[in-house]
Amino acid sequence: MDSAVSAVDRAALERRLGHVFSRPEFLVRALIHSSLANECPQAPEHNERLEFLGDAVLQLAVSDALFKFFPQAREGELSAMRSRLVSAAFLAGRARDLGLDKLLLLGRGEEKQGGRLRDSVLSDAFEAMLAAVYADGGFEAARVAVERIFASFWLDGCGRPGKPKDDKTRLQEETLRIFRERPIYTRKTSRGPDHAREFEVVLRLPDGQEFTGSGTSCKRAEHDAAHKALSALDASKRLSD
C-alpha cells in the first residue's frame, strides 16, 4: 500500500509539515479510513488508533504554542483559543490546506456518500497524520509541524476576525510557515526634495532572496518590497505543487 501515496505527493506534504518520514508506512496508515479496511480485509491497519494518539499530541502541541506565543493571555483565553484550534471544523480546514482530502484512502461506500468532504473524516485524518509525524520523529517533529501549519493563526490571535491583512503581514506569515524565520527590512537610500522624497528598502528572506521596494515613505517602500516577495513565493509554490 506504500504506492498509494506517490513520491511527489508525499514530498509535497513533507515540505508543508517540515518533516521527512523515515518510515513512510506511518503516513500511509494515517491516510487509510476504516471504511477501506472494512471493505478490503487485506488492507493494512486503518487510522483510528493513530487518530487516538494524534488527539493527545495535538492538544499538547497547541497548548505549548499558545503558552509561548501569547505570554499575556490568561488561562481562560488560552483555553478558548485552544478549543477553537482543535475543533473539527478548524482541523478539517487545515487538512484541506495540506491536501489530505485528496490523499485519503476511502472505501467505495464512504466515497459515494461524500466522506472525502466531511469535516469529521478530515479532522480525524489530520489527527492521524500528526500522530504519524510523532511516531516517526517524536514530539519535537510534531510540535514543529503544528507551529508551521498554524503559523498565521499565532500571528493574528488565532484567526479572530479583523481587518484584511496587508502584504507585510501576509509575507511574515508565509516566511514563518516556510522558513520559521521572519523577513528582514533594511533602508537603502532616500533621494529627492523633502516634499517629494523617494525611499528604497531592501527586503531579505531567510533563504537569501532579496527584493527592493520603493515609495514615498519607508513604510510604503517596505510594503512594495513585501508585495514583490509574495509574488515570487506564490510563483515558486505554483511551480513546486
Of 3-7, 63-67, 201-205, where does mean pLDDT reach its minimum? 3-7
Of 13-17, 54-58, 117-121, where does mean pLDDT reach its minimum? 117-121
Instruction: Give the three cell numbers for residue 34.
Output: 476504516
- Annotated catalytic residue: which of 51, 110, 124, 127? 127
pTM over 0.85: no
Q: What is the pLDDT of residue 2?
A: 46
Q: What is the pLDDT of residue 161?
A: 36
* HSE value, Cβ hemisphere, 13 Å, CA-based, for 128: 28
Q: What is the pLDDT of residue 74?
A: 86
Please report how the helices 88-98 and 7-17 are oriented relative to each other, as an axis angle in degrees rounded to 10: 130
Q: How far is CA 31 from the centre of its chain?
A: 18
Per-residue pLDDT tens digits for 154-204: 766 654 433 446 788 888 888 888 888 889 999 988 887 776 778 899 999
Per-residue pLDDT tens digits for 19-42: 999 999 999 899 888 887 666 766
Percentage of the chain surpassing pLDDT 70? Answer: 88
What φ, ψ does residue 188 adopt, rounded to 5°? -100, -65
- Annotated catalytic residue: which of 55, 64, 77, 198? 55
What φ, ψ does residue 112 adopt, rounded to 5°? -65, -30
CA distance 227 to 220: 10
Q: What is the pLDDT of residue 162?
A: 38
Report the chain's mean pLDDT, rounded to a whole number: 84
* Domain architecture of the chain: domains with CATH: 2-155 (1.10.1520.10), 167-240 (3.30.160.20)
Q: What is the pLDDT of residue 112?
A: 80
Residue 111 appears among annotated catalytic residues? no
Instruction: Give the three cell numbers for residue 157.
Output: 490571535
Which residues lie below 8 Å from residue 22, measured CB to CB, with a gap of 6+?
136, 137
Residue 55 appears among annotated catalytic residues? yes
Q: How far is CA 173 from the centre of its chain?
A: 10
Residue 119 burial (CB count, 10 A) = 16
